[in-house]
Amino acid sequence: MACFQRFLKRKICAGDLRHPIAIETRSLDAARPTDTSPTITFTLIKNVSAAILTPSGTMRFDKINLELGVTHLFYIYFDPDLVNLEKNNTFIRILDTVPILANPRRYKLLAVKSVDEDQEYLEVGATERGDDTFKASEA
């Protein structure tokens, strides 16, 4: 597999796809009469390897991202199952194998597109939602 020129001075190569990520879908179960909020569960769609780029910084308030645009770009191998993901209900989690590098944050998927004509890679645009310990990061 050849490298492709994505940015003026940056190429994405097969060796750059070294971060294991989980692509998950979110489901909301209706709240019971005694509960104040619905139950949120995440279901795994697929585990893949990705290259991760951060095109911009983020503005945070109490560890929660306030930005609405793309904060992270994930490059993965082309997979026809992942092209038509539901945009408002799909999240990404980084699954680092080294515990100290584990990232408890979720990233809400905003857009998926093929970056080249030969359909070798997909570019997944996402916005960082925040730490899992905060319920606002699941919104």
> What band does 70 get if pLDDT is binned at 50, 70 and 90?
confident
The pLDDT tens digits for 44-58 are 999 999 998 887 665
pLDDT at 8: 42
Q: Which amino acid is at 8?
A: L
What's the pTM? 0.74
**Greater pLDDT, 99 or 23:** 23
pLDDT at 33: 73
Give the percent of the chain with pLDDT over 90: 11
How far is residue 137 from each of residues 12, 79, 104, 121, measured CA to CA in Å? 29, 27, 10, 28
Average the pLDDT over 80-85 and give the result.
84
The pLDDT tens digits for 13-52 are 778 888 899 999 988 777 677 777 777 788 899 999 999 8
Burial of residue 77 (number of CB atoms within 10 Å: 0-12, 13-18, 19+): middle
Give the percent of the chain with pLDDT over 70: 68
SS3 135: helix
Secondary element (H or E) of residue 39: strand 39-53
pLDDT at 45: 92
CB 29 within 8 A of CB 37: no
Q: Which CATH number fits domain 16-138: 3.30.1490.100, 2.70.98.40, 3.40.50.2000, 2.40.10.270?
A: 2.40.10.270
All structural domains of the chain with their residue ranges: 16-138
CB 70 within 8 A of CB 111: yes
First to last CA, the chain: 37
CB 72 within 8 A of CB 107: yes
C-alpha 5/C-alpha 10 separation (Å) is 6
**Greater pLDDT, 6 or 129:** 129
